[in-house]
Amino acid sequence: MMKIHLKQGWRLTVKHFYLVIILFLYQLLWGFFLYRFIDSIVSPLLRRYPSAYPSDVAAQLFVTEAQFQLLKTDLISPYVWTLGSLLLIRMVLTPLFNAGLFYSLKQTRSDGGTRFLEGIRKAWKPVVLLYWVESILSLAPAWWLLPRALESLLQSSSVPELMQTVLPGAALWLIWGTVLHLLFLSMQLGAASGEGVFRSLWLALRNFLSYAALSLIMWGLGAAAGIVVTSVSMLWTGLFALILHQGYHLVRTLMKVWTIAAQYEYLQSK
């Protein structure tokens, strides 16, 4: 059965290949601006690092100075506001793209035509609302986990000790976010297709193990492709590795759309 849903999801994905290109360009531009922003913060700090092989005293002085500037001054405030603005823009644009895709999957499945822009106009409100609720609930554990993780980072005497303290909470947070994503994705698909938010949620809950298994298969395929690309890039460096690495972003976007299409096909079959 899983194989059937994967094939049907792939057929829907191929019909939306132009949208894959649009999403690829969107992710590429977002990654570029985010990289430049982070580089503008990190590079000046790294230039202040004592040397390639600093003494223990020099390294400790560098860490102490960094901690003081981050925790006791407002040096980081402009960067926080800028990053917050970028994330807000992303939280507006991403659900709009999702609304167009989810609506178009329904139309393509029924009459064979894609309706991306029409989907944005008709389905953006419920999809944006559900996306924001999901984001808030997914980030909610950070209010409790991040201060404790920072405290552990400052107080831990070794990396194993830090991992032992941080990893259990991080694992639970990952599971929480994954379950939320699957359930809210089903509701967004239901809202965009006109079949109802709660009906789609009930279908996802009733068939959650199979629904999650299909999602894990697709995520596993995407992760395997990433490992292959990374391994090849490390073996054959140079222009070929650069082209392969950039091309992988297109493959990753293709896998993302295929995953959503397969999940939609599975829920529709139920």
Number of Cβ within 10 Å of residue 216's Cβ equals 13
Interatomic CA distance for residues 38 and 30, integer angstroms: 12
Interatomic CA distance for residues 169 and 212, integer angstroms: 22
Q: Residue 187 has what pLDDT? A: 94
Measured between alpha carbons, how far is residue 62 from residues 21, 43, 54, 173 in Å? 44, 14, 10, 32
pLDDT, tens digit only, all 270 positions of the chain: 778 888 888 988 888 888 889 988 888 888 778 777 777 776 666 666 666 555 666 666 666 666 666 666 666 677 778 778 888 888 889 999 999 999 988 888 766 677 888 889 888 999 999 999 999 999 998 888 878 877 776 666 666 766 777 788 888 989 999 999 999 999 999 998 888 899 999 999 999 999 999 999 999 988 888 888 777 777 776 666 667 777 788 888 999 999 999 999 898 887
List the domain boundaries for the chain: 2-269
Angle formed by the axes of helices 116-139 and 159-193, nearest 10°: 140
The per-residue pLDDT for range 231-253, each reduced to its tens digit, is 777 777 666 666 777 778 888 89
Q: Residue 251 has what pLDDT? A: 87
Q: Residue 157 has what pLDDT? A: 63
Q: Residue 259 has what pLDDT? A: 93
| Cα–chain center distance at 71 | 28
